[in-house]
Structure 1
Amino acid sequence: MRNTDYYVPAVALGIAFLAKLPALRRGWRDPLVRSVHFLIFTAACCFLFAAPPTIRAVNDLTGVPNVSAPLVYSLTCAFSCACLLLIVNWRGGAPEAVRARSRAWSLAYAGAITALPVFFLLGDAPVERLRDLDTYYATTPYIREMIVTYLTAHMVSAVVTTTLCLRWAREVRQWLRAGLIVLVVGFVLNLLFGIAKLAAVAARWTGRDWDVLSTSVAPPIVAAGGLIVTVGFLLPLLGPQLGDACRAWIGHVRLGPLWRLLRCPARQRAAMPQIPWWSAPDMLLTVRETVIHDELLRLQPYLDDLVRRRAHDTAVAGGAGEDRAAVLGVAAMVAAAVESRSLRPHPGTDSEPEPEPDSDAGPDSEPDSGSVSEESSAKAAVALTAVLSPGRQRLVQLSNALQSPIVAAARQEAAPRESSPR
């Protein structure tokens, strides 16, 4: 592995830890919060201190060859313990039982972490090894025991956490289940790391050379496993927020056609809300919805219920369901009203009197002047409110309906009617 393969994950996890420090200060008494931060911190430390340049720096700083070995092994055990504690506290249960299990695992791994430097002090490892200490000292008394202790602790954690996650994943759904599945992948990789390392060490005991398993195969496996495990724990915590953000962004994009249709003329656009494109997706969606509702309110004097009914009937004749036809009718009415507003920005200001309606005309006949009667506008407003009342999804449906040929035809019909001479 390259040095950047250690330092990049260490920096990323360090940033994540610092970003979550406010939550740690607020929820210090919560065992789950402490476990999450402990896991992120130990994972970052494992990557940082396992990098060969850091190993050499620690050895040189202390003046003791290979003193980094018990340090890195202790951090690995601490990370393994953090995984167990987080699973235990995450799943919950009776408070006393949770505390008892957490205490038992903590004591077990504290014993292993204490034993590692003791074995190192009792052993003899005078030749500095940056990448192959496990196999180089596999047969050295006490150093051998140190290596086997940390590998055993790491593998036990991987097996137990994998089993717990698989059982729990059958009982839950959505983001929690996704996080548990990701955790299983990460823990299996951690188990494979331990197996590869232990196989290489055991091969040295029998006089074989399987060092490639320890020096080339195991490091990238554990690097991937550590990152995947961290992601798996964070996914259920951040997943709902990411899901909400994605849904808000998709809604913002899908409302684009309706928003662009309703935007005020250029001379009025400066008064519209202006927020940066990099704002939070929910803020972008809220602003866009507010603009759309405000513009629909301003468009009410131009709404013509006759246009809506014609488009509705055309949609029904074309085989559309009642719900779809209602949305298409309102979309056609809104598009035609926008066209009317562009030709007649100030309704009711015409200097010429309205012509008297033809006595033979039916109640649905439109006036020759192109103006919309108050009765038709009121009916149109009621129809618009009825279509939009179910909520945000109907607004999206209205935006999507603007692409329909029925709506395009209604808009084309509105332009010549409004531009015809009086």
Structure 2
Amino acid sequence: MTGISMLVPASLLFGAFFIKLPALIRRPHDILLGSVCGLLLMAGLVFSLAAVPTLDAINDVSGVPNLAAPLFYTTLTAVSCACLVLLTIWRGGITPRTRSVARRCVLGYAAVAVAINVLFVLGEAPVERLRDFDTHYATTPFIREMIVLYLLAHTVASVVTAVFCWRWSRRVTGVPRSGLVLIGCGYLLNLGYDISKLTAVAARWAGRDWDRLGTELAPPLAALAAPLIGGGFVLPLLTRSLGDLGRAAVRYLRLGPLARLLRRTVPPGSAHVAIGPLASLELRLIRREAAIHDGIIGLRPYYDGTVYEEVFARALAEGQPPERASVVADAAMIAAAGRVQAAEPGRTVIVCGRSPVQPATGPDDLVLISLALRGSPLVHEARRRALTEA
């Protein structure tokens, strides 16, 4: 396992982890997100440990020949367990049943991890082997059992995960299905890694030298599996995050006409708190919505019920449904009030209308009002007439 062939997938996995880390910081109690981040981190650590320079450094620093081997095997076992637990949570959610399944999985793989280290202590591996440890010590007592144990544990996880993903992918569609297919393909490659390693070890037991299966075929299979597995777990979460970001961006832009009108006509209030240039879009959207609400309240003395009633009636006469006519009338009343307030900012009484009407301020109402401000001829006419009368 060369440094480059292992460090490249390690970098990809660590990169995916750091991409998701800000979301985990914002939502520390999100168990699914935390599990994905933990899996990505441990998987990146596995490939870092598998690189020859890392193995050599661990052995040199510890002074124990081949100490990196059980450390690598233990970490790989933990990743196998983490993947099974994550898939269980991903499919079934947090329920008593999934907690029980996850607990059994953790206990089982924890026992394997302990056994790996005990067997290494009991065995003898005095000659450092950085590339062919598995096959070189395939017939050494206790070390032999350690190698077979870690390979079997990883094989079980690969088979279960691949079958699980295949069956589940047939029941879902869209992005989750794509993620499951990627994970399944990755674990099929991992299964190829396990088969290559086990075959090379078994060949040593039979007195044959098939070491190249373990040293030249298995590592590339594992390196190809890493980005597929990492991408499969990240894809649904990343797509959801991008979807949320896209919806926030669309909403922010659609609220623009209403926000700009109120910013020009209403003195800044408490909602106009300065935010940094690196503030998130979610924070900017919250700030914009708060400013709009403050602006609508600030224009309350200038709302003219007559404007609302006239525009509402004209919109109905044009064939618009009552819900749409009400939105257009609200937008016209806000536009007219803004023009009157700008012309007579000192007034604090209802202007010329028979009765004041409070505009709708629900989340969807604000977007519809903002769009009407930009595109409705009735709103533009009401604004122009208010300016003339003021």
TM > 0.5:
yes
Consecutive unaligned residues of structure 2, counting only runs of 5 or more, are: none
Displacement, 1:313? 4.1
Matched, 1:373 2:374: no
Distance 1:100 1:293, change over 3 A: closer
Displacement, 1:274? 1.6
Q: Which residue of 2 aligns with 1:189?
A: 186
Structure 2: how far apart are the matches of 1:120 and 1:337? 82
Q: Which residue of 2 aligns with 1:300?
A: 300
Displacement, 1:276? 0.6
Question: What's the Cα RMSD here?
Answer: 4.8
Distance 1:318 1:401, change over 3 A: same
Distance 1:403 1:147, change over 3 A: same
Matched, 1:344 2:344: yes
Displacement, 1:261? 0.6
Q: How does 1:200-211 map to 2 (within 5 A)?
A: 202=199, 205=203
Q: How does 1:321-336 map to 2 (within 5 A)?
A: 321-336=321-336
Q: Which digits, 9 at most, give the CA deviation of each residue in 1:355-392, with x for residues without a partner? A: xxxxxxxxxxxxxxxx94241xx2xx32x44xx16x21
Displacement, 1:35? 7.2
1:77–1:113: 8 Å Cα contact kept in structure 2?
no
Equivalent residue for 2:225, pick from 203, 221, 224: 221
Structure 1: how far apart are the matches of 2:22 and 2:315? 57
Structure 1 or 2, whichever has the larger Rg, is 1
2:312–2:328: 8 Å Cα contact kept in structure 1?
yes
Equivalent residue for 1:3, pick from 3, 7, 16: 7
Equivalent residue for 1:408, pick from 371, 375, 380: 380
Number of residues of Structure 1 aligned to a counterpart in Structure 2: 373
Consecutive unaligned residues of structure 1, counting only runs of 5 or more, are: 350-370
Structure 2: how far apart are the matches of 1:309 and 1:329? 7
2:316–2:325: 8 Å Cα contact kept in structure 1?
yes
2:335–2:383: 8 Å Cα contact kept in structure 1?
yes
Q: Which residue of 2 aligns with 1:276?
A: 275
Moved more, 253-262 or 45-54: 45-54
| Residue identity (%) | 31
Q: Which digits, 9 at most, give the CA deviation of each residue in 1:102-149, with x for residues without a partner? A: 33663366236524773797576846434x656xx3794247765554
Displacement, 1:409? 3.1
2:193–2:219: 8 Å Cα contact kept in structure 1?
no
Q: Which digits, 9 at most, give the CA deviation of each residue in 1:43-102, with x for residues without a partner? A: 35324322333212012223455442332122101211233345556746656x954773
Q: How does 1:34-53 map to 2 (within 5 A)?
A: 39=39, 42-53=42-53
2:6–2:223: 8 Å Cα contact kept in structure 1?
no
Distance 1:286 1:75, change over 3 A: closer
1:10–1:47: 8 Å Cα contact kept in structure 2?
no
Structure 2: how far apart are the matches of 1:396 and 1:34? 34
Equivalent residue for 2:139, pick from 138, 141, 153: 141
Structure 2: how far apart are the matches of 1:315 and 1:81? 63
Distance 1:316 1:99, change over 3 A: closer
| 1:263 match: secondary structure | helix
Matched, 1:161 2:165: no
Structure 2: how far apart are the matches of 1:113 and 1:62? 19
Moved more, 184-193 or 76-85: 184-193
Displacement, 1:258? 0.3
Q: Which digits, 9 at most, give the CA deviation of each residue in 1:157-191, with x for residues without a partner? A: 132234446667788x99xx966863563254133
1:43–1:79: 8 Å Cα contact kept in structure 2?
yes
Q: Which residue of 2 aligns with 1:352?
A: none
| 2:252 match: secondary structure | helix
2:14–2:40: 8 Å Cα contact kept in structure 1?
no
Structure 2: how far apart are the matches of 1:287 and 1:18? 21
Structure 2: how far apart are the matches of 1:186 and 1:193? 10
1:259–1:291: 8 Å Cα contact kept in structure 2?
yes
Structure 1: how far apart are the matches of 2:64 and 2:55? 11
Structure 2: how far apart are the matches of 1:304 and 1:14? 53
Structure 1: how far apart are the matches of 2:112 and 2:46? 19
Moved more, 44-53 or 97-106: 97-106
Q: Which digits, 9 at most, give the CA deviation of each residue in 1:327-354, with x for residues without a partner? A: 11221222222222222323389xxxxx
Structure 1: how far apart are the matches of 2:348 and 2:33? 64
